[in-house]
Amino acid sequence: MELMVAFAVGIMTTTGVFLLLRKRTFPVILGLIMLTYAVNLFLFAMGRLAVDQPPVIQDQGNGYADPVPQALVLTAIVISFGTTAVIVTMALRAYLEANTDHVDLESSEVGGLPR
Amino acid sequence: MRLVLIVMLPFLGAHLPMLLARAGRRACAIATGLTTLTAFVLLLTHGPLVLAGEAVSYYQSWIPQLGMDLALRLDGLGFLMAGLILGIGLLIIIYAYFYLGSDEPIGVFFTYLLLFQGAMVGIALCDNILALLVFWEGTSLASFLLIGFWRHLPEARQGARMALVVTGGGGLALIAGMLLLGEIAGTYTISEMVGLSGLVQTSELLPLALLLVAVGCLTKSAQFPFHFWLPHAMAAPTPVSAYLHSATMVKAGVFLLARMWPILSDNPWWFYLLTTTGVVTFILGAVVALFKDDLKAMLAYSTISHLGLITMLLGLGTVAGLVAALLHLMNHAVFKGALFLTVGIIDHETGTRDIKRLGGLWWWLPVTGTVALMAVAANAGLPPFGGFISKEMMLEEVGHITWFGYPRLLAGLATLAGLFSFAYSLRFFIKVFLGRTPEGMVRPHGPSWGLAIPGLFLAMMALGFGLYVEQLASPIIRAAFWGALGRETAVDIHLKLWHGVNTPLLLSGFAFLAGGGLLITHRGWERLFALFSWLDFKAAFDWSVSWTEELCKRVVSLVQSGSLSRYLVWMLVATLLLGGNAFFTSEFQWGTREPLPINGMVIVLSVLMLFTCWFTIANCGNRLLSLIAANVVGLIAAIGFIYFSAPDLALTQISVEVVTLILVLLALYFLPKETVVEGTTLKRGRDIVLAVLAGLAMFGLTWAVLSSDGPKLLADYFIEQSKPAGGGSNVVNVILVDFRGFDTFNEIVVLAISALIIYALLDGAMHGPAAAKLDGWEHDMPRSPEKHPTMLISFTRVLLPLALMVGIYMFLRGHDRPGGGFIAGLVVTIAIITQYMVSGFQWAADRISIDYHAWLGWGLLLAAGTGAAAIVLDYPFLTNAHKHFDLPYFGELDLSSALVFDLGVLMTVVGAVMLALANLSRLGRRAERAAAKAVEATTSEQHGD
């Protein structure tokens, strides 16, 4: 089972990194989202896996999963929504202003620092 | 404590003129003056003790790990320097009030001036060299601001920049030198270092440290070859020139040399470096001053020359040299200040500082003329002024010195410099105040009292330091001398005006006569001097600056190519290399943890995930498809969370998925719908290899952790304490709102900030080129004929109260069962956003009158307020208050303050997400209207046909 989770993390990372290296804003955003999934799952897995042991105190519980990574990841999910939203908005605004969604500067702009 | 106040008062007072800027010029000036006066009086209260040879200290540990402490020590030397800074500062403030025009921002000016004053007093009183360096750079910055005060003048901006580069660059050398010295001595406290001079002198690193310290001091004091910045700093308003660039800031260099004197002076490096620099600057400054027609430029070179004189005296390494240097430091501050103020008056009243366009001013400005006469005489070193005494002491002392093997060479050079000093001083007075009035010169009025008094006062001081040297100057100089030595000595100081006819007097007499002769034949010499006009330090400086800029540009364009993917590749490669190196060099072994059994569903899900990931990449061209596929991956992750006992995570993940999907879809409306395949096959191959490597690394890392047993350090504690300490059974929620409430608070702050960024970005898109593009929008995809499907509308309207109920339920039960503020907030958001989507933005906005900005703010306030309430009740920030309610009659009230905190979280989440989405759709509506208009236009055209 652990192998499957590790496999999922690996696959999502691969997809995320590949998309991140594209040249247009949209795939880059998707790559970022993918990478977020991978990282969140990875962080979550740091508490080890447990089935049927939610960290909710019960009278006849059969053990609890580690709640600390869960709390961390919960806020991480919400925050990554916030940052993704910022990136998306930046991409949108950049496209509206510059009329291109290319992520690189044009060669004429490279190194052309304002005097 | 009073000592700290002396340093801090100018910094604190620096706020006043800015704040009072609207209360008028007078209020600004009075606030500034009172600040300085208070600091000055505080300083004087220490006077009796300091003049008796004692030192007052104050110590406050600051960054002990670095050896940096706020160690202040007021000894005679510091007293002299701080007295000059604050005393002359007071006169300058009066002068500046009358000097600056009524339309100039005097509040800003005084703020800069006080900032400078504070930093300068800091240098004078600091006993810790690291703290001193902070103040040192502070004076460079304040000087930059003051030189550039008239920012509309290009020469002011250039002068400010040049001064900052030279003195700031010297400051860097000084930092290095001081750190070396501190390393050698093992302490950063100057007064302790003095006792360790023997240790310092024997160190191998001493020449390097000394050179670096000297560069720092010499740049600040405008010594050759770094002198060129000072004439360009004269673009500053004259009060600034008088204060910073003659009386105080440029003295910081020689002051620090005097401070270092007992530690470093007993050394040939010190002697040759400083005497040589000093005497060259002494002569050079005096010579150039003779041929400058701009009065301020003349005074600038004169200042350079006098600073050279002081540097040379300090370099001699003899006690008498030190005394003469200290005396001249004080004298020069006084008479050169008076001279600058005089030139300021001339400039102010006639509108010119060109010596060739002035003449006969004595008849219009008799008071100013008197001040000028006294100051000029002191500058030339004529009796009975203070300048005479220090100059005679200098000539006496250099007469005993053998320099590069020649016994009388230094005395000869000093006389030569003195000759030029006489000449330019005389030229100034004769040309400007006597002689013919050139045609076209404005007939000046007498200056107002505020302009005249400060200069007059300083000129009287210059006279007093000569006539009553024993009473006025001796006590201060004696104390300063003791302070500079760091100890009391048997050597006593007797300062006298008249020593009878001796060698120095004869040398002076010769210099006076020869100087007069030089002036008579000035025209010829001027032609000779003009031959050297190609020696332009400014051009060399400009060239080196632009050369450095070009170099930086090349380097930057090499590293910063502007290609995002290239940066990412570098980061990835570096990370992989570092991680790989750590992995392959360690003795890693796979863990032996018992794996959980695999079941069919997990296999199906894994295969599904593999497939959707592949699908996302494969359909990269069709953006809509790949977005949906990516979302499926997220949902599979959510199912994983459910399966692995994380219900809260699953709920959050699912609701965030929905919101993210809506957000990206809204954005995609504006973006191109397809991605063309770009890049060479080679580059794609590189990307694939990197991606696979990164995936493998993450796979290995996860597997390595999951296959081994780790200590559950925190988990058990939180699970045990959740109910008794946190009052809830949902441990995750208790951690969020109670145990780690501060983290959560920070997270919602981040969320709020990102919402505001989004708002700013989108609101900005409603103007400018982006808005123009929106107004010309045309649909790039076919539109559905039915805008808002009736079935869906009826269904979602019924759903709204139910969805809101679910949200409230999730919120209320969150502390004990899966749920909580984050999840409830997202559910509420989805409930609202559904209405927007299905019924149209306008319809929904008319009915749902929620100010999302306010929700954001109130949410944060609520969360912060809950935390603050705990502080009021004397508990640490964000302490949960559920067990602190024990009311009579009601008994134990099971109401948790964490619920209020969680409500804050909920409101922030709703506010943030809705702010982002609502503003995106605001953009959408604008484009929609434009597109509809375009469609209408084309259809009507067709009908017209």
pLDDT 10s digits, B751-794: 999 999 999 999 988 888 888 888 888 877 777 777 778 888 88
Average pLDDT, chain A: 86
The reply to whether residue B705 touches residue A46, judged by beta carbons under 8 angstroms, is yes
CB B310 within 8 A of CB B332: yes
- pLDDT given at position B356: 86
Given B723, B747, B768, which is nearest A75 (Cβ)? B747
- Chain A residues lying within 8 Å of B769, measured CB to CB: 96-97
The reply to whether residue B822 touches residue A75, judged by beta carbons under 8 angstroms, is yes
- Chain A residues lying within 8 Å of B569, measured CB to CB: 21
The model's confidence at residue B895, banded by pLDDT at 50, 70 and 90, is low
- Chain A residues lying within 8 Å of B914, measured CB to CB: none
The reply to whether residue A111 touches residue B710, judged by beta carbons under 8 angstroms, is no
Chain A nearest-CA residue for B927: A96
**3-state secondary structure labels for all residues of B460-515:** HHHHHHHHCHHHHHHHHHHHHHHHHHCCCCCCCCCCCCCCCCCHHHHHHHHHHHHH
What residue numbers bound the domain in which A21 lies? 2-50+67-98
pLDDT above 60 (res B12)? yes
Residue A55 lies in a domain: no
Structure tokens at B461: 């001081």
Q: Is B770 on the interface with A (CB under 8 A)?
A: yes
Complex ipTM, two decimals?
0.93
When divided into structural domains, chain A yields a total of 1
**Segment among A101-115, B372-386, B534-548 with least mean pLDDT:** A101-115
Chain B 739-758, residues with CB within 8 Å of chain A CB atoms: 740, 743-744, 747, 750-751, 754-755, 757-758
- pLDDT over 70, % of chain B: 97
- Chain A residues lying within 8 Å of B714, measured CB to CB: 68
pLDDT above 90 (res B351)? no
pLDDT above 80 (res B906)? yes
Residue A62 lies in a domain: no
Enumerate residues 6+ apart whose C-beta is below 8 A from B792: B838
CB B340 within 8 A of CB B242: yes
Residues B303-331, mean pLDDT to the nearest whole number: 93
The reply to whether residue B701 touches residue A103, judged by beta carbons under 8 angstroms, is no
- pLDDT given at position B343: 93
The rounded distance, in Å, linking the Cα atoms of A28 and B10 is: 52
- Chain A residues lying within 8 Å of B764, measured CB to CB: 93
Q: Is A100 on the interface with B (CB under 8 A)?
A: no
Residue A104 lies in a domain: no
- Chain A residues lying within 8 Å of B710, measured CB to CB: 46, 48
Average pLDDT, chain B: 88
- Chain B residues lying within 8 Å of A12, measured CB to CB: 609, 613, 633, 637, 695
The reply to whether residue A19 touches residue B617, judged by beta carbons under 8 angstroms, is yes
CB B94 within 8 A of CB B33: yes
CA–CA distances in Å: residue B430 to residues B251, B289, B440, B607, B649: 29, 15, 19, 99, 89
The rounded distance, in Å, linking the Cα atoms of B217 and B166 is: 11
- Chain A residues lying within 8 Å of B755, measured CB to CB: 82, 85
User: Which pLDDT tens digit goes with each residue over B392-431?
Assistant: 889 888 888 888 888 888 889 999 999 999 999 999 998 8
User: Which pLDDT tens digit goes with each residue over B114-150?
Assistant: 999 999 999 999 999 988 999 999 999 999 999 999 9
Q: Which residue intervals of chain A are DSSP H helices?
A: 2-20, 25-45, 67-98
The rounded distance, in Å, linking the Cα atoms of B929 and B932 is: 5
**Segment among B122-136, B322-336, B885-899 with least mean pLDDT:** B885-899
Residue A7 lies in a domain: yes
Residues paired with residue A102 on neighbouring β-strands, in sequence order = A24
User: Which pLDDT tens digit goes with each residue over A29-72?
Assistant: 999 999 999 999 999 998 888 888 888 888 776 788 889 999 99
Residue A80 lies in a domain: yes
- pLDDT over 90, % of chain B: 44
Enumerate residues 6+ apart whose C-beta is below 8 A from B620: A19, A22, A27, B626, B675, B677
Q: Is B627 on the interface with A (CB under 8 A)?
A: yes
The reply to whether residue A34 touches residue B909, judged by beta carbons under 8 angstroms, is no
Chain B nearest-CA residue for A39: B698
Given B670, B754, B822, which is nearest A95 (Cβ)? B670
State the DSSP string of B898-938.
HHHHHHHHHHHHHHHHHHHHHHHHHHHHHHHHHHHHHHHHH
**Segment among B203-207, B563-567, B708-712, B816-820 with least mean pLDDT:** B708-712
DSSP three-state, residue B887: strand
Residue A23 lies in a domain: yes
- pLDDT given at position B892: 47
Given B616, B723, B743, which is nearest A15 (Cβ)? B616
The reply to whether residue A56 touches residue B561, judged by beta carbons under 8 angstroms, is no
Residues B48-54, mean pLDDT to the nearest whole number: 87
Chain A interface, best mutation among B639, B732, B910, by max A CB count within 10 A? B732
The reply to whether residue B620 touches residue A27, judged by beta carbons under 8 angstroms, is yes
Q: Is B715 on the interface with A (CB under 8 A)?
A: yes
Residue A112 lies in a domain: no
- pLDDT given at position A113: 41
Distance from CA of A62 to the nearest CA of B (A): 12
Residue A83 lies in a domain: yes
